[in-house]
Amino acid sequence: MLTETPITGSKTFDKNSCRPLPKCLTIKSSDIDGLGLFAAENIPAKVYFGETHFKIDSLADWLRTPLGGWIYHSDSCNASINLL
């Protein structure tokens, strides 16, 4: 459940709720293209955020997840995508 704190106006999800993104990630303006995925806090190395794409058939078609929709490429990137 999404609740709003009256004093600060910040919105939070209770711990049993489905979050649209991990708490440490946010979507904001990107110099690369419109909006992008950014860290909202320092994130330790090798943190797993979830699947970004799924292979859906033998013809090499892929389905992008909502998380995958926010991943852009940068000449100075500090994250990686591991293919399993």
Domain limits, the chain: 19-41+49-73
| Residue 45 tokens, joined | 């190395």
**CB–CB of 52/71 below 8 Å?**
yes
R_g of the chain computed on alpha carbons: 16
pLDDT tier for residue 75 given thresholds of 50, 70 and 90: confident
User: pLDDT for 40-56, tens place per residue?
Assistant: 999 888 888 878 888 87
If DSSP codes are grouped into helix, strand and coil, which group holds residue 30? Answer: coil
Contacts of 38 (CB under 8 A, 6+ apart): 25, 26, 27, 28, 30
> What local confidence, expressed as pLDDT, does residue 42 receive?
92
pTM above 0.75, yes or no: no
User: pLDDT for 2-44, tens place per residue?
Assistant: 454 555 556 666 666 666 777 888 888 888 778 888 889 998 8
Distance CA 73, CA 80 (A): 10
